[in-house]
Amino acid sequence: MKKQYVLKGSYDFDFVAIAINSHTKAYSLCWFLNKELGLNFEKNTDHYIAEDMFFSRYSALVSEGESYQLLSNRSKKGYLLTSHKKIDYFLIVSKIKWQKKRKEFMQKLKNISNILLVFELELNKILQAKRLITND
């Protein structure tokens, strides 16, 4: 009789992912984020999952260790997180000082008229959450 072992563990993410629904294009959404949050988003190289699956990415570096990335959830070949097909963008925020500024940050995002829905994802409950990790 074969024995089956299951390895259980969780990954400790060093960032927070915020789901955003918006009908605007990514570059336009970045403009609104720059204006409301005082950031400086710039177009970055696309985020590749596979050879034919790439997602647009914009980055803003505020200070050492504090950074923001806006990732599109849709590409021509599929979704970044297939469990969240109705989400348009993911805003990746480094965890430094996140608990202190979380409430104010989320309120500022909700005040942007072009954002329809915004909420924080529970990354430990999402199977494909590792796809949000960028290597730069």
Q: What is the mean pLDDT of the chain?
A: 87
Q: What is the pLDDT of residues 7-27, one digit of tens each?
A: 666 667 788 899 999 999 999
pTM to 2 decimal places: 0.85
Please give the average per-residue pLDDT across 37-66, as a whole number: 87
What pLDDT score does 9 carry? 62
SS (H, E, C) the chain: CCCCCCCCCCCCCCEEEEEEEECCCHHHHHHHHHHHHCCCCEEEEEEEEECCEEEEEEEEEEECCEEEEEEECECCCCECCHHHCCCCEEEEEECCCHHHHHHHHHHHHHHCCCEEEEEECCHHHCCCHHHHCCCC
